[in-house]
Chains A and B, each alone.
Chain A
Amino acid sequence: MTTQTIKIVAVAIAMVVLALLVPRSGNFVVLLATRAMTFAILAMSLDILLGFTGLASLGQAAYFGMGAYLAAILVAKYHVGLGWDFWLVVVLGILCGAALAAFFGLFAMRATGTYFLMITLALGQCIWGLAYRWSSMTGGDNGLNLGARPDFGLNLSDPIVYFYLVFAFFGASLLLLYLLVRSPFGLTLMGIRERELRMQILGYNTWLHKYVAFIIAGAFGGLSGVLWAYTNGIVTPETVVLTTSVDALLMTVLGGAGTLIGGAIGAAIVFGLREYLSTLVPWWQYVLGAIYVMTILYLPTGLMGIPARVRQYLRSNREQAKKKLVSVPS
């Protein structure tokens, strides 16, 4: 078995365990897992940009907010999305996320490096500004209430049923994104990440590849936003605030950028710690801050990169030991 197969089997086993164990663990854990999986989709969508294309976006919350507000507005203002038309809202959320990314990408793709970070920040703030001030549409600071979750034979108000639905979306997103990064398109993205100029010389239209990656990330961001709106039942400007984008970045980096599943692990850890600690102590934000600082300084490849780092450490130790053996006789 190659390491790749082992990894896939490990992820599959973890998914099965998740699906079997969580529903037996009480409502708190079910809600926690549902929220973490929703956010994991966002983190994985960001990983397509950050880990596979090498574009650090500081505005992924924009697409998340687009999906969330779309669902909230349709439900609260037009009473669409509480029955079978839930699926319509999901599809619309994906399409709107993609459309927004297609529009924003035209601006963002002009910048690179630090300026890409800045421009995505500004784009994210545009959406936040609209969510915050366009009160007649978004409810302003109070946000929008969705009320009950949809009921179409499947009653999504039941937390366990809803958990399985989000689980299915999460699994499907993971699978689709995995197929994407394994495809020739995904390999081209990785080539761009490593050295864009070389890919251009080889004849690839790198702008178009990056642009399409940006749109795909936006589409999955929109999906996670729709699910987030239904999960929480309320959407406020807090959903699109700068720290949401930063949180998604941290989750990706904490789990390990460029590994896809890393974003999900990061989301689980950040949500788990935050929800668990905030019920225990008022100072949980110290822990969050500490996670940021420690991840950046000591875990450059994230949690998923730890095995490789340990192996490297052991190997260098062995080599040093060998050198000593050789140098003794002389």
Chain B
Amino acid sequence: MNTQFWLVQAFNGVSYGALLFLVGAGLSLIFGVMRIVNLSHGSYFLLGGYVALSVIATTGSWALSIPVAAIAIAMVGLVMERLFLRPEGQFVTIRDAMLALGIALIFRLWIGRVFPLMLPGATGAFIQAAVVVVILAIPVFLILRRISAVAIETDTLRQVLLTVGFAFLFQQAALDIWGGNNMDINPPPLLTQSVVFGGLFLPAYRVFMIAMAVIIGIVLWLVMEKTRMGAVVRATVDDAQMARGIGIDTNRVSMFIFALGAGMAALGGVIGGAFLGIYPGLDFEMLPLAFAVVIIGGMGSLGGAAIGALLVGLADNFGKALFPEISYFTLYAPMVLILAIKPTGLFGRE
């Protein structure tokens, strides 16, 4: 173990930390603003990678896949937040209708075709199935309207189970759409070379990852600290009730932050997919790591997420290199200690 070993490991740790920052920062902001513990955050990472794969397969452009995946998953997050996590007004009706349709669809798939095929051809069969689903959905919808749903904003346990439910739904949807094979995102050849830096051969892709995380981190920091929008978000993190009192639309803030967080996780999926691969189960592998970042850094703090990501990235890399048999233990045990000593994390506010 010479200096080179330490330098290479440290570099790998920092670049992994850069990836973790993209996933953890969003999770941290979501918790800070909305007080929601989001266990489908790992799914956004995985779905982002899959969407990027589809974009690359159709257009052949890797550069295009990054914004498309981020925006697509941000939209998924937006819909989830509006309809399920904080539904208000007509969104409650839309949510009930969507759930009724989903349940009707499951029933239709389960019992198979109810009536003999009356419309010809594949399109006809599809239309008939759709009609049957809608008809099945109506009584379910009416029943759901009678049962008032529970507000989950104040109950962490319910948030956890609801978002886990979505994680399972996303997992199955990804399996149905993209299959169960391990797939790779291939970055352009320019980024697959090595960079020589001070006698060390560093993969250009990892340098790119660090640069990407630093740029995004700085932009986010500037937005949070220097703009009015950032001030509004910080006010909501500090005291949502007070923020509402002085006329801040916290509802819109939380919508925006949730979409941003989901989009950043998807971005992480695209970038990380190149060296982690994209496969079923990756979602629940990334999720605890993202939570480690958030907890070590403190929930709702951007700087904390950066430090937390760096620490987790380094701990993970050195743990695996130095004590392979207890490597994950060396990652999660400090997390326990920090929570036990300072529950709000190293940089969290009381």
List A residues at the B interface (Cβ < 8 Å). Answer: 50, 56, 58, 107-108, 110-111, 113-115, 117-119, 121-123, 125-126, 128-130, 132-136, 241-243, 246, 249-250, 253, 280-281, 283, 285-298, 300
- Partner pick for A115 among B109, B152, B343, CB 8 A cutoff: B343
With a cutoff of 8 Å between Cβ atoms, the chain B residues found around residue A291 in the complex are: 165
Question: 8 extra interchain contacts, Cβ-Cβ under 8 A, other than A125-B335, A290-B106?
Answer: A130-B328, A133-B327, A133-B329, A289-B165, A290-B165, A297-B149, A297-B152, A298-B147
Expressed in whole angstroms, the Cα–Cα distance for A202 and B168 within the complex equals: 44
With a cutoff of 8 Å between Cβ atoms, the chain B residues found around residue A110 in the complex are: 339-340, 343
A-B contact pairs, 13 of them (CB 8 A): A56-B157, A114-B37, A118-B291, A119-B339, A122-B291, A122-B335, A246-B161, A253-B161, A285-B168, A293-B99, A295-B161, A297-B152, A298-B144
- The answer to whether B326 and A130 touch across the interface, beta carbons within 8 angstroms, is yes
Interface size on B, residues (CB 8 A): 53
List B residues at the A interface (Cβ < 8 Å). Answer: 35, 37, 39, 84, 99, 102-103, 106, 109-110, 144, 147, 149-150, 152, 156-158, 160-162, 164-169, 171-172, 175-176, 284, 287-288, 291-292, 295, 324-329, 331-333, 335-337, 339-340, 343-344
- Partner pick for A130 among B109, B329, B343, CB 8 A cutoff: B329
- The answer to whether A129 and B332 touch across the interface, beta carbons within 8 angstroms, is yes
With a cutoff of 8 Å between Cβ atoms, the chain A residues found around residue B106 in the complex are: 286-287, 290
With A126-B329, A290-B103, A298-B149 already in contact, the answer to whether A119 and B164 are too (CB < 8 A) is: no
- The answer to whether A134 and B325 touch across the interface, beta carbons within 8 angstroms, is yes
- The answer to whether A243 and B284 touch across the interface, beta carbons within 8 angstroms, is yes
With A117-B37, A133-B325, A283-B109 already in contact, the answer to whether A289 and B340 are too (CB < 8 A) is: no
Chain B interface secondary structure, helix, strand, loop or mixed?
helix
With a cutoff of 8 Å between Cβ atoms, the chain A residues found around residue B144 in the complex are: 298
- The answer to whether B336 and A126 touch across the interface, beta carbons within 8 angstroms, is yes
With a cutoff of 8 Å between Cβ atoms, the chain A residues found around residue B84 in the complex are: 293, 297
With a cutoff of 8 Å between Cβ atoms, the chain A residues found around residue B284 in the complex are: 241-243
- Partner pick for B331 among A117, A129, A253, CB 8 A cutoff: A129
Expressed in whole angstroms, the Cα–Cα distance for A107 and B335 within the complex equals: 11
Expressed in whole angstroms, the Cα–Cα distance for A69 and B142 within the complex equals: 48
Nearest-CB distance from B36 to chain A (Å)? 10
- Partner pick for A128 among B156, B168, B328, CB 8 A cutoff: B328
- The answer to whether B157 and A297 touch across the interface, beta carbons within 8 angstroms, is no
With a cutoff of 8 Å between Cβ atoms, the chain A residues found around residue B287 in the complex are: 242
With a cutoff of 8 Å between Cβ atoms, the chain A residues found around residue B292 in the complex are: 122, 125
Nearest-CB distance from A276 to chain B (Å)? 11
- The answer to whether B147 and A292 touch across the interface, beta carbons within 8 angstroms, is no
- The answer to whether A249 and B150 touch across the interface, beta carbons within 8 angstroms, is no
Nearest-CB distance from A48 to chain B (Å)? 15
- The answer to whether A293 and B162 touch across the interface, beta carbons within 8 angstroms, is yes
- Partner pick for A129 among B168, B175, B327, B344, CB 8 A cutoff: B327
- The answer to whether B339 and A117 touch across the interface, beta carbons within 8 angstroms, is no
- The answer to whether A294 and B99 touch across the interface, beta carbons within 8 angstroms, is yes
- The answer to whether B161 and A250 touch across the interface, beta carbons within 8 angstroms, is yes
- The answer to whether B291 and A121 touch across the interface, beta carbons within 8 angstroms, is yes
With a cutoff of 8 Å between Cβ atoms, the chain A residues found around residue B152 in the complex are: 296-297
Expressed in whole angstroms, the Cα–Cα distance for A243 and B288 within the complex equals: 11
With a cutoff of 8 Å between Cβ atoms, the chain A residues found around residue B172 in the complex are: 283, 285-286, 289
Best-surrounded residue of A58, A122, A135, A295 (most CB of chain B within 10 A): A122
Q: Which residue of A lies closest to B172 (CB)?
A: A285
- The answer to whether A119 and B340 touch across the interface, beta carbons within 8 angstroms, is yes
- The answer to whether B150 and A115 touch across the interface, beta carbons within 8 angstroms, is no
Expressed in whole angstroms, the Cα–Cα distance for A51 and B166 within the complex equals: 24
- The answer to whether B109 and A281 touch across the interface, beta carbons within 8 angstroms, is yes
- The answer to whether A292 and B164 touch across the interface, beta carbons within 8 angstroms, is yes
Nearest-CB distance from B185 to chain A (Å)? 24
With a cutoff of 8 Å between Cβ atoms, the chain A residues found around residue B335 in the complex are: 122, 125
Q: Which residue of A lies closest to B87 (CB)?
A: A297
With A118-B295, A125-B288, A246-B161 already in contact, the answer to whether A289 and B166 are too (CB < 8 A) is: yes
**Nearest 6 Cβ contacts at the A-B interface:** A129-B328, A292-B165, A289-B169, A289-B168, A285-B172, A56-B157
Expressed in whole angstroms, the Cα–Cα distance for A66 and B292 within the complex equals: 22
- Partner pick for A286 among B169, B339, B344, CB 8 A cutoff: B169
With a cutoff of 8 Å between Cβ atoms, the chain B residues found around residue A242 in the complex are: 284, 287-288
- The answer to whether A290 and B102 touch across the interface, beta carbons within 8 angstroms, is yes
- The answer to whether B149 and A58 touch across the interface, beta carbons within 8 angstroms, is no
Best-surrounded residue of B287, B288, B324 (most CB of chain A within 10 A): B288
With A121-B288, A286-B169 already in contact, the answer to whether A126 and B162 are too (CB < 8 A) is: no
With a cutoff of 8 Å between Cβ atoms, the chain A residues found around residue B327 in the complex are: 129, 133
